[in-house]
Amino acid sequence: MAQNPAQPKDLAKGAAAQKPINWLHLSTLIAVAVLVGTEMIGASWAAGWAIGGLLQLDPTVSRVIEVGFTLCGFVLLYYFMRIAIKHEPYRG
Q: Which helix (H) or strand (E) holds 11?
A: helix 8-16
CB of 65 within 8 A of CB of 48? yes
Confidence of residue 18 (pLDDT cuts 50, 70, 90): confident
- DSSP-derived 3-state class of residue 56: coil
pTM here?
0.73
CB of 74 within 8 A of CB of 38? no
- pLDDT tens digits along 22-54: 899 999 999 999 999 999 999 999 999 999 999
- pLDDT tens digits along 74-84: 999 999 999 99
